[in-house]
Structure 1
Amino acid sequence: MIAEKRPELGARWLGRVGYEDALVLQQRLREGVSSHLLLLEHPHVYTMGVRTDPAHLLVDPATVNATVCWTDRGGDITYHGPGQLVGYPIIDVPVGPDSTPRYVHTLEASLIALLASYRIEAYTLDDFPGVWVGPRDAPRKIAAIGVKLSRGRSMHGFALNVHTDLSMFSNIVPCGIADKAVTSMEAEGIHASVAEVARSYAKHFASGFGFDQLDYQGVDDASQIAVSTSREKSEDAVASRLNQRLAKAGFSFDTAVPYVSRKPEWVRSEVNLGVEYRSLKHLVRDLNLVTVCEEAGCPNIYECWKDGTATFMINGERCTRACGFCLVDTSKPLPLDPSEPKRVAEAVAALNLSFAVVTAVARDDLEDGGSEAFAATIHEIRELNPSCSVEVLIPDFKGDQVSLERVLQARPDVLNHNLETVLRLHRAVRPSANYVRSLTVLARAKEFGLTTKSGLIVGMGESIPELKSVMRDIRSVGVDILTVGQYLRPTRDHLPVSRYYHPDEFAALREYAMSIGFRYVEASPLARSSYHARQGSDAAAGAMA
């Protein structure tokens, strides 16, 4: 079966992703209308379909460093792990009495075509979904399939063994089939990386399901990027882990902006140390508070403080992460101050704010990731300032759902979590974060009924097509507000600037973002996460009214 022609497929090679994060992302994407193909690896996990016999799990998963997840796909138990390409298509499927078998058949055909391109002859077996190789009287399963179709949209998908540890299958009855062997591309004599197979498969899937265009993006995927071959000639090409990650992701050191160079006039902020600025600075000091305006070297500090607005940074001023673009201190954090939420509320009252923004450093050293302080600060602000709206810019809490829900249940007026950059550069720029995890934070917040917001920084080596792709990914999980600003290098030890975007380019990016459904977009050279935050919240609320 080849479906009717479709306009575009967004295929993403995401690298290693936790099973539950991938499931949340699928569920959110299924609520939309665009077409997606998520390609990834999982950590060791045994997944149980709706027809799983628990007796088919033969060991305690903990003894083999694996977890177990029950899920709503079809089929019995299967294994996912490193070296295995897992694909989750989220596409429209024509509704009909034979929808599921026709869809599964097309999925199998796309995998058979992929394997043929690697000189592996594969086939299907009646009554046994999946893809098989070897003699038909002694078949070996190379790819499992377990799907779910609901309201004309697909979820779940397939698992192709590329160079998987096949011994992990001995701990289960794979797919409930006890008398048939399991194999991999490697076991069949083909040596390839999962990332390479993912890129190739995306083309076969797009062709098999009738897509006119393929938008493929991959983490660390520099295959279509001209990587610098003379890094030793660059002043920034020091032997650092940051630059090694950048090189892997295809950053061009040869064309980067020199550290000592004059910035274009449109990225220079005007210094205004007027009475309003000095008054707010004294208030922050008197209440022993921290602002991200100062800690992150925000170029808008003079404008915002002149207007009596500031973004308060809670949970201390030392971050446990070291993002390549950020100026915030990364030394060992100090203990939390339990009085800080109330002092933030007192500052909001003293400034007579109608809209307050609260952010925080990442506190991976804390069991709750600092989420209790976020909830307490929201509560204290509303207790002292009932008419004040609150926006929070939160970390990902390492993917801990309990910590995230603690903040969601406090119901901030806007929940902001920044994706920061495109998929290819994500691991280089945010080594302790995860592209999918960030999307799932936003997806969970949207499912909770909150107004959601995210931000991007440009000038870190991305392309315009990549920016449009990440905008589509952010919008696909329901995000309402987007900010886009120019990256400005804080010190020589931070990520180099690839280039400075012209104001006209920001205007074009804003126009594109609005055209794909964002309620409000702040895009300009000096735009930052909390810049014009109240205006964004008001516009989003008005658009949804």
Structure 2
Amino acid sequence: MLEVRWLSKVAYRDAYTLQHGLFDSGKAQHLLLLEHNHVYTLGVRADISNILVDPKQVGAEMVRVDRGGDVTYHGPGQLVGYTILDVATEQNSTPNFVAKIEDLIIATLDKFSIVGQRNPGFPGVWTISKDGSLRKIAAIGVRISRGRSMHGFALNVTTDLEMFSNIVPCGISEYGVTSMQAEGSVCQVEDVVGVVASLAPKIFGFSEASFYGASSSDGYSMQDPNLVDSIIKVAPKVDAMAESRSLDRRLASAGVGTAEGISISKTKPEWIKLRTKMGSEYQELKETMRGLNLVTVCEEAGCPNIYECWSQGTATFMINGEDCTRACGFCLVKTDRPLPLDLDEPRRVALAVEKMGLDFAVVTAVARDDLSDGGAIGFVETINQIRRLGRDIGVEVLISDCKGDEDALSAIYKAAPDVLNHNIETVLRLQRAVRPQASYARSLSVLSGAVKAGLVTKSGIIVGMGETMDELKATLRDLASVGVSIVTIGQYLRPTRKHLPVSKWYTPKEFAELKSYGEALGIRHVESSPNTRSSYHAKEAGLGIKV
């Protein structure tokens, strides 16, 4: 099956890491559709003299990559397609694959009344421009290794063509470039996405495909698994009073109206309710945390399992302060300007681990976008302090995306936690509504990097925020495709009226279905139940899996 994903705007380095993760796993066939910020990329045979200005002077990055071809430009208004697919290994496999990509772009342009054509000896798609000249409208650069492809194409839709004047595009000086807009089309990138998604399965030889994507700020929702020829335009379902709330506007953009939510005052189903058991172990752990001036996410996030876990001597330490720089729509942790890091905190966490006699410790943190490393040093130092206790103590860290910073993430990977957890939280369509300062692609990139570093990886999904069962299964397929070993799935519980509404109470049967589905994909442990949270049964899952 071809997995088509519209990821919207993605940082180039995030997409690059994600591509490698999908390529290395060899578990699925993906067509990733997205846009980048301004970036010039140089293929393995690129001539640096084809960069005519310092990219920083025009607000662009410059990145060397492992595709074929010379220098090219990616930026807003350009639809980029990354083809991570199995490719036939017979003679001429690379030119034959490039020809298929050209077929896809030519067929797409035809839907918008633009005649695309080949230019013998020059990969890509070209068109006769209004002035009668032959101009390039789409660049193609691929890498094929071990029967798998990476990279793909870049189709200029509403691209700022002035950005091409700073380079010799693809090392070809005798031809100019153009865009669909320059050729008279009034379409936007999202319009082209729907057409590409509908044409790609047949052209690449797939009889089955799934198509899911991000919602955009203007109300487009890419959520049609049947691959229609255009994007669904969502009609917002919010009333005038709710219109003023950014959370409700994001929900409407994703196709989830506030009218669909379940009232916070409505009685919860019996299978959601938990009995409170405040035993001596709970009190002892609470006193330990207060005595060492430590914070637990169990308390800060209002976890429903706090009494069960604490009575078993298990807690999740929350480092780097109590105030988060992000404002996710589901989370009870306070959003505020954080205090400076407490440099002694890692030592005190290790002291608590020793005092409690733990053989498995879970450490998470608030997002610290105010710090250059996103708070990575706190994780590294806490892991190191726990290791210095000299006992065989398992350590799981639940990290933020560290803003995608490669050095920060690499430092955490090198600290070698036993489990690297990073939650994707929800399906692709709802990312912007649920966690506007994060992204689906970046989360998959973080997990891909951890897998490449040789770590056991884990991720979590919250259900009941407006997603469908099919979307959840697609998310599980994406997690499996980058090599995630452990997944937690739990019911969303609305903390306050200011948070996302609950759209649905999932039944125990549905949780069991998701567990079976995930494990059938090769995910080695799926913890799926109404009251499951990221750290629930973390010790059992973490100690039971080795890379």
User: What is the TM-score when the length of structure 1 is the normalising length?
Assistant: 0.95
CA contact (8 A) 1:203 1:214 kept: no
Which residue of the partner structure matches residue 157 of structure 1? 152
One-letter amino acid of the structure 1 residue matched with residue 516 of structure 2? E
CA contact (8 A) 2:237 2:257 kept: no
One-letter amino acid of the structure 2 residue matched with residue 13 of structure 1? W
Q: Kindly report which structure 2 residues correspond to 1:448-463, keeping only aligned pairs within 5 A, or say none.
A: 448-463=453-468
Q: Kindly report which structure 2 residues correspond to 1:92-241, keeping only aligned pairs within 5 A, or say none.
A: 92-134=86-128, 138-220=133-215, 221-222=220-221, 224=224, 227=234, 230-232=237-239, 237=242, 239-241=244-246
Q: Secondary structure at the match of 2:396?
A: strand
Structure 1, unmatched stretches of 5+, are 1-7
Q: Secondary structure at the match of 1:211?
A: coil
CA contact (8 A) 1:228 1:251 kept: no
Is 1:537 aligned to residue 506 of structure 2?
no
Which residue of the partner structure matches residue 18 of structure 1? 11
- Residue number among 509, 526, 529 corresponding to 2:514 in the alignment: 509
| 1:379-400 deviation digits (Å, cap 9, x = unpaired) | 1112125221110000110011
Question: Cα distance, 1:208 vs. partner?
Answer: 0.6
Question: Cα distance, 1:97 vs. partner?
Answer: 1.9
Q: Secondary structure at the match of 2:511?
A: helix
Is 1:475 aligned to residue 474 of structure 2?
no
One-letter amino acid of the structure 1 residue matched with residue 382 of structure 2? T
Structure 2, unmatched stretches of 5+, are 225-231
Which residue of the partner structure matches residue 324 of structure 1? 329
CA contact (8 A) 1:34 1:476 kept: yes
One-letter amino acid of the structure 2 residue matched with residue 124 of structure 1? R
Is 1:43 aligned to residue 37 of structure 2?
yes
| 1:345-392 deviation digits (Å, cap 9, x = unpaired) | 111111111111000001111122111111111111121252211100
**Structure-2 change in CA distance of 1:168 and 1:227 (3 Å):** closer
CA contact (8 A) 1:349 1:385 kept: no
Question: Cα distance, 1:226 vs. partner?
Answer: 8.9
**Structure-2 change in CA distance of 1:489 and 1:16 (3 Å):** same
CA contact (8 A) 1:228 1:254 kept: no
For residues 236 and 204 of structure 2, the distance between their equivalents in structure 1, rounded to whole angstroms, comes to: 39
- Residue number among 85, 92, 110 corresponding to 1:91 in the alignment: 85
For residues 12 and 520 of structure 2, the distance between their equivalents in structure 1, rounded to whole angstroms, comes to: 32
For residues 219 and 331 of structure 1, the distance between their equivalents in structure 2, rounded to whole angstroms, comes to: 27
**Structure-2 change in CA distance of 1:228 and 1:264 (3 Å):** farther
Q: Count the aligned residue pairs.
A: 533
Question: Cα distance, 1:253 vs. partner?
Answer: 2.2
CA contact (8 A) 2:394 2:543 kept: no
CA contact (8 A) 1:219 1:425 kept: yes
Question: Cα distance, 1:252 vs. partner?
Answer: 3.0
One-letter amino acid of the structure 1 residue matched with residue 6 of structure 2? W
Which residue of the partner structure matches residue 5 of structure 1? none
Q: Kindly report which structure 2 residues correspond to 1:96-495, keeping only aligned pairs within 5 A, or say none.
A: 96-134=90-128, 138-220=133-215, 221-222=220-221, 224=224, 227=234, 230-232=237-239, 237=242, 239-495=244-500
For residues 63 and 162 of structure 2, the distance between their equivalents in structure 1, rounded to whole angstroms, comes to: 19
Which residue of the partner structure matches residue 229 of structure 2? none
Q: Secondary structure at the match of 1:212?
A: coil
Question: Cα distance, 1:69 vs. partner?
Answer: 0.8
CA contact (8 A) 1:46 1:77 kept: yes
**Structure-2 change in CA distance of 1:22 and 1:529 (3 Å):** same
For residues 303 and 228 of structure 1, the distance between their equivalents in structure 2, rounded to whole angstroms, comes to: 43
Question: Cα distance, 1:275 vs. partner?
Answer: 1.4
CA contact (8 A) 1:130 1:145 kept: yes
One-letter amino acid of the structure 1 residue matched with residue 75 of structure 2? G
CA contact (8 A) 2:68 2:141 kept: yes
Q: Secondary structure at the match of 2:461?
A: strand
Q: Secondary structure at the match of 2:428?
A: coil
Question: Cα distance, 1:76 vs. partner?
Answer: 1.2
One-letter amino acid of the structure 2 residue matched with residue 84 of structure 1? Q
CA contact (8 A) 1:227 1:252 kept: no
Structure 1 stretches (4+) deviating beyond 3 angstroms? 223-230
Which residue of the partner structure matches residue 228 of structure 2? none
Q: Secondary structure at the match of 1:272?
A: coil
| 1:11-48 deviation digits (Å, cap 9, x = unpaired) | 11111111111111111111213100011111111111
For residues 181 and 103 of structure 1, the distance between their equivalents in structure 2, rounded to whole angstroms, comes to: 25
For residues 540 and 511 of structure 1, the distance between their equivalents in structure 2, rounded to whole angstroms, comes to: 18
For residues 195 and 85 of structure 1, the distance between their equivalents in structure 2, rounded to whole angstroms, comes to: 9
Question: Cα distance, 1:137 vs. partner?
Answer: 7.2
One-letter amino acid of the structure 2 residue matched with residue 76 of structure 1? D
Cα root mean square deviation, aligned = 1.5
**Structure-2 change in CA distance of 1:273 and 1:217 (3 Å):** same
For residues 307 and 278 of structure 2, the distance between their equivalents in structure 1, rounded to whole angstroms, comes to: 7
CA contact (8 A) 2:254 2:430 kept: yes
CA contact (8 A) 2:104 2:203 kept: yes
CA contact (8 A) 1:369 1:397 kept: yes
For residues 162 and 293 of structure 2, the distance between their equivalents in structure 1, rounded to whole angstroms, comes to: 57
Q: Secondary structure at the match of 1:231?
A: coil
Q: Secondary structure at the match of 2:540?
A: helix
| 1:302-351 deviation digits (Å, cap 9, x = unpaired) | 10011111000001111000000000011111111111111111111111
Question: Cα distance, 1:229 vs. partner?
Answer: 5.1
CA contact (8 A) 1:80 1:159 kept: yes
| 1:101-129 deviation digits (Å, cap 9, x = unpaired) | 11111110111011111111111011011
Most deviating of 136-145 and 102-111? 136-145
For residues 212 and 252 of structure 1, the distance between their equivalents in structure 2, rounded to whole angstroms, comes to: 34
| 1:231-275 deviation digits (Å, cap 9, x = unpaired) | 228x9x352111111100111322210122111111112111221
For residues 137 and 179 of structure 1, the distance between their equivalents in structure 2, rounded to whole angstroms, comes to: 14
Most deviating of 62-71 and 461-470? 62-71
For residues 251 and 469 of structure 2, the distance between their equivalents in structure 1, rounded to whole angstroms, comes to: 18
Question: Cα distance, 1:161 vs. partner?
Answer: 0.3
